[in-house]
Amino acid sequence: MQSLHRLRTYTLVASVATAVSAGFLGTSAMAEDLRIGTQLKLMTLDPHYADLNENNSLLSHIYERLVIQDRQLNPQPGLAISWKRLSETQWEFKLRDGVRFHDGSPFTAQDVIYSIERIRDFLKPPSGGFQTYTQAIKSVTAPDPMTVVIETSSDVPTLPLSMTSIFIMGHKSGDFATTQDVNSGKQSVGTGPYKFQSWQSGEVLSLMRNDAYWGSAPAWSEVAFQVIESPAARVAALTTGDVDLADYIPSRDVEGLERRGLAIESTSAARSNFLQFDIAREKPPGITDKAGNAVKNPFRDERVRQALTMATDRPFLAEKILLGYGTPAAQLFPTGLSGTSPNLTVAPPDYGGAKALLTEAGFPDGFKVVLAGPAGRYPGDSESLQSIAQNWARIGVSAQPVVAPFSVFATQRSDGAYPVWYGGCSGEAVTFCLRAVLGSPDAKSGAGSLNYGKYQNQTFDAMLEKAMSMEDGPDRSAAIAGATELAMADYPMLPLYHFHLIVGHGQKVGSYAVHPRGWTTAMQAVPSEE
């Protein structure tokens, strides 16, 4: 008994000792490893499960798509080297030769078929997600191992764009892999520049270089993504050198990081954040006069919306709340991008004019209103609301900022609990946001999916529809801008700012190209030459 006990103690000590030495080995840093602190929480290893930035960004190390989107958001060859339209409903993709999966098996048309069918027929994820891209696909066939023909049930001119969202997974004989299987990590086999090593949910994703990668050799031998959701903690980790690179840096921390010798890169994001008004209802909740009596919905009056726009100090939001890492917004994408209008500009606040308009609209004493928004979902969200409340107080509108965790806010918003609220939109093109935010809500076509205020303008709908059917080029761009100008003249919503995506990195990284879609990958980081 005694000896058994001693034996057990010995084993324990021995295992601790090996563990300790293993630990020390683990901390000795290798020259080519990259540690990234990211806000993006990888939720699942299944690349077909949920279409979220978080997943797509991190899983794009392991898996690749047929078509990729460059920084200007144009389609470029990925696993497909070329594609062409055979007929109205048929597309042919020529596949790249000599590509191998991480397990050594070659990439063929069967894998494409497998991946598309897995999304379309097999997976039933709660988020729906990727099925949007496959629902129009009638069949996928392989005339030869290196060619795929996709047949759609209707005319889908944007099919190559849909393919920029679908990751190709190595096919297996037999059944489709379940999400559980994929989550276990055993089947995380793609063609990407990095191989899957390990994943601890919500904490660390470890990757290693794919030496057999078909493209230019990946720069880093090992990549570890550490999920650090709190911005302050991410900044701290970068400061202390725990990570070599950190994304979504709050603008308030930029100065301190630069002082400590860290490099900052940023780019304007293809998106906007804005206030939306309830324009439909006669008496939405949350609006009263100063004495607390119910009033008719002031936001139905265009002059009130204009007055509030005039009284909102957008330059302040960009310069003081976002500390310069944001651009005041007058439309849905930053001015200058395709489809934006140069005529829409942000004026400094005009409180006198706003007050006069408000009086004209029949609200000389202003009103009280609940100004709702999510807390910490977007840079500067809760601070902006408080700052806007300060602005509006100058023209007699007393706004009460109410912030909540995002899901709580979103539930309340779709339940119609708010009269005016903070929202955001991003997408692969400005037309997506125009249609979602300003288009008349239509459940069937999916238009107006973010138009919670129920703004309706048939002329705008028609103009946008027409513009979107045009061939890509300056004419199309001008037509989209024209539609935007028409809608914005109604003040249907109040664009606030386009925030910038900020990434900080240490000495190890020479340069980093921030992607306007907000992806963080090791491929964007170039090692410094020492």
Partner 1 sequence: MVTTIVGRLSQAALLLLVMSVIGFVGIHSVGNPVYNIVNIETATAADIRNATIALGLDQPLWRQYLLFMGNVVTGNFGTSYIYHLPAFDLVMSKLPATLELASMAMLIAAPCGTLLGLLAGRRQGCAIDRAILKASVFALSIPSFWLSMVLILVGAITLGWFPSGGRGPTVSLVGQEWSFLTLEGLRRLTLPALALAIPNIALIARLARAGTIEVESQDFVRFCRAKGLSARRILFRHTLPNISIPIVTIVGMQFGGMLAFAVVVETIFAWPGIGKLLIDSIQLLDRPVVMATLTFVSLAFVGLNALVDLLYAVLDPRVRLST
Partner 2 sequence: MKANTLRALWKRHRGMSISLPGFLLAAYVLLALAAPLIAPQNPYDPLQIYGWEASSPPGTMGGPGYFYLLGTDGLGRDILSTILYGLRISLVVSITSTVVAALIGLTAGVSAAYFGRWVDVVIMRIVDLQLSLPTILVALIAIVTLGPGIDRIILAIIIVQWATYARVIRGVALSETGKPYLDAARLLRLPTRRVLFRHLLPNSIAPAITLIPIELGHAVALEATLSFLGLGVPVDKPSLGSTVANGFQYLMTGQYWISLFPGLALFGLIASINFVGEGVRRSLDPRSRSV
Instruction: Report the interface residues with partner 2, using CB under 8 A.
Output: 231-232, 235-236, 239, 250, 252-253, 255-256, 313, 316, 320-321, 375, 382-383, 385-387, 389-390, 392-394, 398, 400-405
Min CB(108)–partner 1 separation in Å: 29
Site string for partner 1, 368-397 (x = CB under 8 A): ------------------------------
Q: Of residues 34, 38, 47, 49, which one binds partner 1 by CB under 8 A?
A: 49
Residue 451 neighbours by CB under 8 Å, 6+ apart = 276, 436, 437, 438, 439, 440, 441
- Residue 253 contact, options partner 2, partner 1, none, Cβ 5-8 Å cut-off depending on partner type: partner 2
What are φ and ψ of residue 442, in 5° steps?
A: -145, 110
Residue 417 engages partner 1 in binding (rule: CB under 8 A)? no
- Residue 43 contact, options partner 2, partner 1, none, Cβ 5-8 Å cut-off depending on partner type: partner 1
Residue 416 engages partner 1 in binding (rule: CB under 8 A)? no
Residue 4 neighbours by CB under 8 Å, 6+ apart = none
Rounded Cα distance, 327 and 34, in Å:
31
User: How many helices (H) and strands (E) in the chain?
Assistant: 16, 23
Q: Looking at residues 190 to 219 of the shown chain, list those that interact with partner 1 (rule: CB under 8 A).
A: 200-203
Of 331, 438, 325, 299, give the one whose Cα is nearest residue 378: 325
**Which CB atom, from 60 or from 382, has the smaller least distance to partner 2?**
382
At 474, which amino acid appears?
P
Neighbours of 283 (CB within 10 A): 11
Rounded Cα distance, 5 and 8, in Å:
5
Rounded Cα distance, 94 and 74, in Å:
19
- Residue 387 contact, options partner 2, partner 1, none, Cβ 5-8 Å cut-off depending on partner type: partner 2
**Which CB atom, from 11 or from 528, has the smaller least distance to partner 1?**
11
Rounded Cα distance, 114 and 95, in Å:
15
Rounded Cα distance, 278 and 298, in Å:
9
What are φ and ψ of residue 4, in 5° steps?
A: -60, -45
Q: Are residues 440 and 447 in contact, defined by beta-carbon separation less than 8 angstroms?
A: yes
Residue 405 engages partner 1 in binding (rule: CB under 8 A)? yes
**Which CB atom, from 100 or from 394, has the smaller least distance to partner 2?**
394
Q: Tell me the Cα Rg of the chain.
A: 26
For residue 495, the Cα-to-chain-centroid distance in whole angstroms is: 18
Q: Are residues 344 and 335 in contact, defined by beta-carbon separation less than 8 angstroms?
A: yes
Rounded Cα distance, 410 and 423, in Å:
10
Q: Are residues 381 and 373 in contact, defined by beta-carbon separation less than 8 angstroms?
A: yes
**Which CB atom, from 340 or from 391, has the smaller least distance to partner 2?**
391
Enter the tokens of residue 85. 């339209």
- Residue 16 contact, options partner 2, partner 1, none, Cβ 5-8 Å cut-off depending on partner type: partner 1
**Which CB atom, from 276 or from 382, has the smaller least distance to partner 2?**
382
For partner 1 (CB under 8 A), the number of binding residues is 61
**Which CB atom, from 94 or from 394, has the smaller least distance to partner 2?**
394
Min CB(51)–partner 1 separation in Å: 6
- Residue 347 contact, options partner 1, partner 2, none, Cβ 5-8 Å cut-off depending on partner type: none
Min CB(316)–partner 1 separation in Å: 25
Min CB(138)–partner 2 separation in Å: 47
Look at residue 233 and give its three-state secondary structure: helix
Q: Looking at residues 241 to 270 of the shown chain, list those that interact with partner 1 (rule: CB under 8 A).
A: 242
Beta strands 326-328 and 33-38 are: unpaired
Of 41, 62, 61, give the one whose Cα is nearest residue 50: 41
Q: Looking at residues 97 to 136 of the shown chain, list those that interact with partner 1 (rule: CB under 8 A).
A: 124-129, 132
Residue 364 engages partner 1 in binding (rule: CB under 8 A)? no
Min CB(132)–partner 1 separation in Å: 8
Angle between helices 302-310 and 351-360 (to 10 degrees): 170
Min CB(248)–partner 2 separation in Å: 13
Q: Of residues 183, 197, 398, 456, which one binds partner 1 by CB under 8 A?
A: 183
Rounded Cα distance, 360 and 348, in Å:
21
Site string for partner 1, 140-179 (x = CB under 8 A): ---------------------------------------x
Binding stretches for partner 1 (CB under 8 A): 15-16, 19-20, 22-24, 26-27, 41, 43-44, 46, 49-53, 124-129, 132, 179, 183, 200-203, 226, 228-230, 233, 236-237, 239-240, 242, 404-412, 414, 424-427, 432, 436, 443, 446, 449-450
